[in-house]
Copies of this chain bind each other. A is one copy, B any other.
Amino acid sequence: MSAFRVPRRIRFSDCDPAGIVFYPQYFVMFNGVLEDWVDGPLGIGFADLVSRRRIGLPTVRLEADFRAISRFGDDVVMSLEVERLGGRSLTLALRCESGAGELRMAMRQVVVTTSLETHQAVDVPADLRAAVQSLAG
């Protein structure tokens, strides 16, 4: 699968008094990329998945490396790839790079599919599974 890529400009509200991205904000930005991926290439509808079907995608594990700073106003590219599709989880590889391709931040994130009624893990829904497999070609 090729990576799903989203260009983004670093905003004033992303940055801290040091003038660089406040690191928790990377996770907010990547959460937006995940939404865009589910809405876009997967064609599932993220809000429908959560609000109507009551399926959540909480994070159970992440590892992140911050390699270079991103400053307010920088144009970056956020990307998402599926490393592994499990029975009840997805392992994602996420990257933020400068427009010139310099790696700013990379993370591996494991999300599980859960019932938002019970907050227990459930099988990855069939349509989500099929959509991920279809992208993987």
Contacts and interface: CB of A to CB of B under 8 A. Distances in A.
B60 A62 contact: no
Chain copies in complex: 4
Interface in A7-64: 9-13, 15-20, 22-25, 27-28, 31-32, 35, 39, 45-48, 50-51, 56, 58-64
Interface stretch (A69-77, A86-94, A95-103, A125-133): A69-77
Contact of A69 (B27, B51, B119): B119
Size class of the A contact interface (CB-based, 8 Å): 35 or more
Interface of A: 9-13, 15-20, 22-25, 27-28, 31-32, 35, 39, 45-48, 50-51, 56, 58-67, 69, 71-74, 116, 119
* Shortest Cβ-Cβ A-B pairs, 4 listed: A47-B73, A24-B27, A17-B19, A24-B24
